[in-house]
Amino acid sequence: MSPIADRYRKHADAFEAKVAGTAPDDWERPSPCEGWTARDVVRHIVDMHAVMVRPLGRQLSPAPSVDEDPLSAFRAARGDVEGLLDNNEVAVSEITSPAGSMTVENHVDRVVSDDMVLHGWDLARATNQDDTMDQDDVERIWAGTSALPPQMLEQMRTPGAFGPGVVVFGPEVKVSSEAPLQERLLGMIGRDPHWRPGS
C-alpha cells in the first residue's frame, strides 16, 4: 500500500467513525460551516469523492443517498476511491484538475483526504463527538497551508475559484499565536475553534 493510500484509509476510517457515531436525531444539527447541517458535511465529503472519480470518466457506484443513509453513502464513496488507489496503473495516471495536472493519487491526497480531517472536526463539533485531530495531520496540514503564497490563500477563500459552488477556505478567523496548533489551523481555514451548536 502506498503512503498516500495508507493516509487516505486512515482519514476515511476516522471520518467514518464520526459518521457512525452520529445519533439519528443529530443529523439536522448546525455545523461550523455556515448554512450546513451535520448531514450536509457528509454530503460534501461524498460529493468530493465524486469529484475524485470524475476526471476518469466515472461516477460513484449506486448507493443510498446521504439523505437516506449517510453512513452507507460514505462507505460506498470511499470504496470507489479506494479502488482507484489500489490500482497502481490508475493511481499514477495523470488527470487534469482545477489546480493543474497531477496524478490520481495526488489529487486524492491533496483534496479529499485532508478534507476528511478538516470536515471531521466540523462533524464532530456539530454532533458533540471528540473533535481532536491527529497531531501529525495538524502539523502536516499547517505546514503546507501556512507556506502557501498569500495570493493562493486568497484564491482559496474566493467562492467559485476552483469550480461552481466550491469554497475551499472561509475568511480567516483570528486566533492567538499562543493557541494550540489545531486552533490556529482551524482559524486559518476559516473556522472559529470555539464554535458550538447554538453559539
Domains of the chain, first to last: 1-119+126-131 (1.20.120.450), 132-199 (no CATH)
The phi and psi torsions of 93 (rounded to 5 degrees) equal -75, 150
Quickly state the pLDDT bin for 152 (edges 50, 70, 90): confident
- Rounded to whole angstroms, the Cα distance separating 187 from 199 reads 17
Is residue 122 within 8 A of residue 33, CB to CB? The reply is yes
pLDDT at 165: 65
pLDDT at 92: 96
77-117: pLDDT as tens digits: 999 999 999 999 999 999 988 777 999 999 999 999 999 99
- List Cα–Cα distances, 75 to 17, 26, 54, 160, in angstroms: 11, 19, 18, 28
**Is 196 in a helix, a strand, or coil?**
coil
pLDDT at 199: 63
Q: Which three cell numbers stand for residue 17?
A: 467513525
Only one residue has cell 498516500, namely: 4
